[in-house]
Amino acid sequence: MAVFYLVLGTVFGFILSRSGAADYNYIQGMFLFEEFQLYGIIGTAVALTAPGIWLLKRYGKTLTGRPLVIERKAGHRGNVYGGILFGVGWSITGMCPGPVLVNVGEGKLYALAALAGVLVGAAIFGCSYRVLARPFRLPPLAVGTGEG
Amino acid sequence: MPLILHDLEPLHWAVAGAGIALVTLALLAVTSHRLGVSTGFENVCALVVKAPYFGRDAIRGSNGWRLPLLGGLVLGGFLSAVLGGGWEPTWALGMFDTEIGWGPAGKLAWMFVGGLLIGFGTRLAGGCTSGHGIFGLSNLELPSLVSTVSFMAAGAVTTNLIYRVLV
């Protein structure tokens, strides 16, 4: 199965690379409201994924016959404050998490620094979960903030 | 507008959006996993950082699919460069070069700081553009809408501050 995930990731990465979703200028153009491209991409993806998920839930099984289980994410204060921090980081780098990896693959050298920052940031978060849990009303440590 | 990568013309947004929807639905339909990239960074952290948070079941049980997915994203970018004119290391950063113009050391520092915010912020929010913006919104989850509005608004404010006020 590892090959299946590798292929899915590769297709995803190729699309992000060639669509502008992993391109600094297109991200700034989106946030400046000057480029429609990223709004079109995300809007189309949601408009097609939503009915797909609905149909799969009705079907209730995976294609291999196992039960389809979608765990919904918990709501907490981290949704807002984490979202804000991430938005600032997305603007600064011109990359969200997928495109950080795509840019590394493309050979953009500065993306290595972004990736190092992402991993250090995630490590700091994980190591301070117990401290952050109370002020941000986070779910128990075993649950986490949401798998995404 | 051409891409920074070899000045290529980008895919049409509808084609790219449909492709991402197919990837998302294939992952769900075959293996019942919800698409999401940022949790995968916790799987990478878990390889070296032995904090209790990184030892939880959701991480230990997902190495087998999240790590290859992350590897695929790097490979996809690599193949895109190879097939689009050749892979070569580059510092090119589009309008950052023309408007701000910092050299390699400045870019590395800028990107590291931005990366810290992405890593910490996405994990605090419980997802990123893929997990909240695409999967969560498509599954009509309120926390995902809250997160998506938060990161889109913060990004818009930051970019407008940088390019319309500061430079």
pLDDT number for residue A114: 98
Which stretches within chain B are classed as H helix? 13-31, 38-46, 57-60, 63-83, 95-99, 104-125, 137-138, 142-160
Q: Kindly identify which residue of chain A lies nearest to residue B114, measuring between CA atoms.
A: A89
Q: Kindly identify which residue of chain B lies nearest to residue A37, measuring between CA atoms.
A: B13
Q: Which residues of A touch B131 (CB under 8 A)?
A: 73, 146-148
Q: Kindly identify which residue of chain B lies nearest to residue A7, measuring between CA atoms.
A: B72
Question: Three-state DSSP class for A136?
Answer: coil
Residue A25: pLDDT over 90? yes
- Token pair, residue B167, equals 């430079």
pLDDT digits over B19-73, tens only?
Answer: 999 999 999 999 999 999 999 999 999 999 999 999 999 999 999 999 999 999 9
Taking alpha carbons only, the member of B115, B124, B137 closest to residue B20 is B137
**B140: closest CA of chain A, how far (Å):** 8
**B130: closest CA of chain A, how far (Å):** 7
Distance of CA A125 to the CA centre of its chain: 16
The C-alpha R_g of chain A, in whole angstroms, comes to 18
Indicate yes or no: CB of A87 within 8 angstroms of CB of B68.
no
pLDDT bin (cut points 50, 70, 90) of residue A148 is: confident
**A82: closest CA of chain B, how far (Å):** 4
pTM of the complete model: 0.97
> Which phi and psi (to 5°) does residue A108 adopt?
-80, 110
pLDDT digits over A62-75, tens only?
Answer: 999 999 999 999 99
Indicate yes or no: CB of B124 within 8 angstroms of CB of A1.
no
**B102: closest CA of chain A, how far (Å):** 12
Would you list the DSSP string of A42-61? HHHHHHHHHHHHHHHHHH-B
Indicate yes or no: CB of B77 within 8 angstroms of CB of A14.
yes
pLDDT digits over B79-109, tens only?
Answer: 999 999 999 999 999 999 999 999 999 999 9
Are the beta carbons of A94 and B136 closer than 8 angstroms?
no
pLDDT bin (cut points 50, 70, 90) of residue A147 is: confident
Taking alpha carbons only, the member of B109, B123, B125 closest to residue A122 is B123
The C-alpha R_g of chain B, in whole angstroms, comes to 18
pLDDT number for residue B123: 98
pLDDT digits over B5-31, tens only?
Answer: 999 999 999 999 999 999 999 999 999
> Which phi and psi (to 5°) does residue A67 adopt?
-65, 140
Indicate yes or no: CB of B150 within 8 angstroms of CB of A26.
no
What mean pLDDT do residues A10-29 have?
98
Indicate yes or no: CB of A16 within 8 angstroms of CB of B76.
yes
Cα distance between residue B148 and residue A56, in whole Å: 24
Q: Tell me, what DSSP letter sits at residue B133?
A: I
Taking alpha carbons only, the member of B39, B32, B72, B120 closest to residue A146 is B39
What was the ipTM of the complex prediction? 0.97
pLDDT digits over A103-114, tens only?
Answer: 999 999 999 999
Indicate yes or no: CB of A106 within 8 angstroms of CB of B5.
yes
